[in-house]
Structure 1
Amino acid sequence: MAQNSGGRQRPNILITGTPGTGKTTTASALAEALQLRHINIGDLVKLKNLHDGWDDELDCYVINEDLVCDELEDVMEQGGNIVDYHGCDFFPERWFDRVVVLQTENSALYDRLTKRGYTGSKLSNNMECEIFQVLLEEAKESYPEGIVSALRSDCIEDISRNVENLTNWVRSWSPSMS
């Protein structure tokens, strides 16, 4: 049986990885399968203006990490959340019972990002991030070793398998989720 943190009835899971690795697809499918709350940090930042403006070079909002954490504190304490974001080192360690880093083979990731319209430094920065496993290292440095795992996310079959494995993990963590 997985360990239950902080007296929560349902676990919190962070799904992280380079843009284009399937975080939102995986988090949405997992949330639906388990009737948990999916929190897409990028959407939350836009919706609640939890940012410090726009970065023209990287073509994205500069998130205000303190505002994001303040916004999420109460809901994270309740448990039952699947958080989806391409960073992880600013979230409090106590929030998560499992941290999943999705990884995608470089040519597949390149194709996904170019289809999204990524070019120039935004494309090269994200490709380098994946090649050098920056997010996996960030997760390993930010969370206990036993809760961090890297999962392949090259194709729809990988995503389905990951959702199934995470669903089984949640059910073992919380018998009431069965």
Structure 2
Amino acid sequence: MLKNVDPLLNADVLYALRAMGHGDELVICDANFPADSVARATVLGKLLRIDGADAPRAIRAVLSVLPLDTFVDDPALRMEVVGEPNTIPAVQREAQAEVNAAEGRDLAFRPIERFAFYERARSAYCVIATGEQRGYGCFVFKKGVQLAPDVAKQAPSGDQSKDQGK
């Protein structure tokens, strides 16, 4: 058990989140998504799991440690409902609330067509399958940066030649 780390974040998930770089994408998907076959095509090459949690709860856990990219317009994507691109199912509304809470602002999901979602998922860093049983509980998140405060610049030390060789 770790302090201040959501208990849903197992060692494999934490490793992947830490290994990702700025601009890498991760997929959080429902139990209906072809997660294993898609995950084999990702950078990580294997499926990660957060079993026993629905998609919104898994999103809360992941976004508790993962910054979203602020350099792009759409760091969060949701799979469109087939034939009903303007429909937003309950699972996506719940996920939207988790994203907004994590970011401290409204950050709307951009919808993406189902087959375009599959292609995007194959090029992601990793796929995290959840226990979400509702359809369309599938999302893509782009990792941002977590910058440390600037370190005070060292004052010039003058002529360093006399210090050499000591």
**TM-score computed with the length of structure 2 as normaliser:** 0.37
Task: Choose between structure 1 and 2: higher helix proportion.
Answer: 1
* Bigger CA radius of gyration: 2
**TM-score computed with the length of structure 1 as normaliser:** 0.35
Q: Which has the higher contact order (CA 8 A, sep 6+)?
A: 2
